[in-house]
Chain A
Amino acid sequence: MTAGTGLTIAVPRGALFADTLDLLDLLEIDTSELRSGDRRLLFSGPALAQRGIDGIVTMRPSDVPTYVEHGAADLGVTGKDVLLEQTEREVYELLDLGYGRCRMIVAARRGDDALAESLRRLGSVRIATKYPGIATRHFADTGRQAEVVEVKGSVELAPLTGLVDGIVDLTATGRTLVENDLEEREQIEVCTARLIANPVAHKLKAQAIDALMARIRGRP
């Protein structure tokens, strides 16, 4: 946890950024600087301190559990997809914030049946994903052998080029899938934004964290 008396909050940039700032606004935490669009990553000042916030740090969602686990931030907001992928992180998952809803799915090329065909004739399927942990677990849990290929960029490309039979990926609207001639085959999990806490901060800053949670729960 952070050494100050107030809270330090890790806020994800990207898809969850706007909704997270709206949430902070509802809690009457000043977000004008975060919204100003400058390149700073760390925000603090008297307006935040007045609300019991020592600082707000912004980062990509998948880094939020790292900062929170090590206590560089007391609280953080990140997607359930990130937490499912990083299951070994020792953080408290405190609250389902409800926004940022999307789904972790298995998808394959429209029309053909590469997934079933590979399983039947080759004994295993090849799956491309940015979420190797989730993909490996999902296929193991459903009793199928899978060879998981980790890619960093656009996963949709992998089945189109024959690199793999299918993908495991996060989808919100499904548009990218359609545009790339892919279709959903299985849903693994529905993912929303979560509030997480450092285990030490959860004890030593209990009052501040509980007060904040009560305000989030009671929001309109």
Chain B
Amino acid sequence: MSQLTRRELLKSAATAGAAAALAPALGGSAGAQTTPKRELVVAQGGDIGKLDPHFSTSSNDIRWSFNLFDNLTSRHPDGKLHPGLATEWKLSAPSTWTFKLRAGVKYHNGDPFSSADAKFSIERTYDPNVKTMVATALSTIDRIEAPDATTLVVHTKKPDPLLPARLAFYGGQIVPKKYVESVGNDAFNARPVGTGPVRYVSWTKDDKLVCEANPDYWGGKVDFDRLIMRSIPETAPRIASLLKGEVDVITQLPADQGERVAGNATTRVAGALYAGLYVMAVNSKRPPLDNPLVKQALSHAIDREAIVKELWRGRGVVPSGPIAKGDNHFDPSLPPLAYNPSAARDLLRKAGYKNEEIVIETTVAYLSNDKQMSEAIQGMWRDAGINAKVEVIEYSVRAQKNREKSFKGIFWSDPTSTLGDPDGMMWRLLGPGGPQDYWRHPRFDELGNAARFSVDEKFRGEAYREMTKIFLEHFPWVPVIQPYEDYGLQKYVEFTPNPNQQFEIRRFNFKFKRA
């Protein structure tokens, strides 16, 4: 409720005098599309907690830790894996990956980077004595060898086709062995040292983190001298600070606020399609949701185009199945999920649906627009003859129901594709024993398991195609939207964001426009 009033307030204030408001505020710099700035100021929506990258997976922390540190592999804004501290990698046996490492790289403190650091860093993530928060991120690894300074050989317990992808995400940040061992974990957390494009200068908690550019970065020096990460938790002041020109980039721009930023003379919106989907997950054990025909009807009765257009102001796409656009094995030939209320009615008749109540349990603003979408969909379902009810639950209740698997019917989920691959998304969540295991299908399970341990991408592609077909008959999730994650930028900032909140700022994707 308070969320609504805030938004309403902002909206009315914006319409009241957006144009008039901005002209004096911007003064002489009005209309500046170039800048002489050497300092980049970024405002994000939450505070940074830890500087040691192996102790946090929170998006507020990884937004800067992927800039202070490098991974062996790097996922670029194009969604593909590119060289990081490793220049090339190949499968040398079914369960063995061999990485060729970059030579001549130095840490911010001058120490040289070598394969010993990579081995130490990866082993540190699952070392029971260190007690990191990413102990399971790289747990497919059996042992690691470092035969020479620029070669790393990683043996996995079973064939792991996704190891290079795992190394690009959290847990994969490479820390300096010598420094960490000599100062200890606490001192490392207080003064982190990495190989990335920026190095640590100072941090005032909940206020700002200051970094400076690493002039010797192997990927080329970034186009600024200093980077300041501020945290402005409330959306309205965060947007105000951008419009006023106090900051250069803001993160977490809600879809319904985009027009404010885009409509302003000096700012613009840049987004990356979320690496994942917003879905209505289904407790398929509860009748009538155990009947696939009913779930097909639920999907047919949702006008997703209207949801994208009205609730998301066009900042999203309609999904075609369980695989997010941009992931491995996404099938572009598949049509977006269709809106067909008459087909829904036929399916309900065929299913013998007797107006049983279907409960949508929604949180408020745990996902953007969750309650609004629930109410819109409830209305669409009612028009198609489905008796749905919306119940609002607290976030902590949702967490408990999630753990106990006790949802009454439908609940919101935002499955993230952690590896850019269906294995890290639908199989991780929907697989046997997974967090959303409410439905089993022998063929689906057989294929999901085989694809997880296969290093034959052609086979994996076929497996996921068939799994998608089964999925679209049974709808263990009813996918609703793949939204954009938007940033607000000054027009003099040229930046292409990553699809997975990593917020990597590199020479190739960031530039200040100069006069």
A-B complex is real:
no
